Each structure stands twice: as C-alpha cells, then as structure tokens.
Structure 1
Amino acid sequence: MGISLFAIGALGMLIFGYAGWKGQQNIRALIHDFDQKIEYFYKAHKNVSSSKRKKVKHS
C-alpha cells in the first residue's frame, strides 16, 4: 500500500514539474515573439515624427 502511494505521488510530482517547466518555456516564447513584433513595429514606423509617439525604453 505504501509503495503504491509513493509511486503515485512521485508520478504526480513529475507531471506537475513538467507542466510548470513547459509553461515557463511557453511564456518565454510568447514574450520573445511580442518583443520581435514591437521591434518590427518601431522599425516599420520610423517615418512617424518623434513628437507624435511616446518614447519607450527597451531593456
């Protein structure tokens, strides 16, 4: 009984750990994609006068 509960608990911890790791990867990919879109937007709209758009500080 104890061994089966231990195995089920270990399997559950592995599943939750894997889900958290994949979630972090997805968030990083999403942030990277939005950064690329923002960079493209600013490069594509360079002709807009600087007085009309807000200054954004990129990190």
Structure 2
Amino acid sequence: MVLIYYFHQSTMWLFIIGIILMVAGVLGMFALGYASWRGRQNVTLVIEDYEKKIAEIKKLDQNASGTEKIRFK
C-alpha cells in the first residue's frame, strides 16, 4: 500500500509493483483463511467420527450377549 500511495504519480513501475504486491498479499490472506477454515472442518469431522465410534463401543459393551460386531466405516 505504501508503494501505491507514494508512487502513484511519480514512478509508474513502483506503482505497478505496489499493486502486484497488494494483490499477492490479498490472495495469500484468502488462501491461509481458506486453509484454516477447511482444517477446522476436517478436525470437527474427525472428532465427530471418533465420538460415534466410542458411543458404538460403549453401546456394545452394555450388550450382555456380545454377539454384535463393531462396524467401522
């Protein structure tokens, strides 16, 4: 932003470099934000799957006959 502000009229190539760096920075922030969001979704899915499996195991432990088999996805 500083290159764009200071050199918008005097030096054209510094102004263009400033715009390119600004666009690269914005794209980098979007990429990191998206990766963080997807990572949080994946962690939530893993935790939910683990909780389902633990609940299934606890339910089978309460079953006296023990004839059912645990089915994992």
TM bucket (normalised to shorter chain) is 0.7 to 0.9
Aligned AA (2:27): L
Q: CA deviation at 1:47?
A: 4.2
Number of matched residues?
48
TM-score (norm 2): 0.63
1:28 aligns with 2:25: no
Structure 1 alignment gaps of length 5 or more: 49-59
Instruction: Give structure 1 regions of 4+ aligned residues with deviation exceeding 3 angstroms.
Output: none
TM-score (norm 1): 0.77
Task: Point out the structure with max Rg over C-alpha.
Answer: 2
Q: Which has the higher contact order (CA 8 A, sep 6+)?
A: 2
Aligned AA (2:41): Q
Q: Percent identity?
A: 42
1:44 aligns with 2:29: no
RMSD: 1.1
Partner residue, 1:55: none
Structure 2 alignment gaps of length 5 or more: 1-16, 65-73
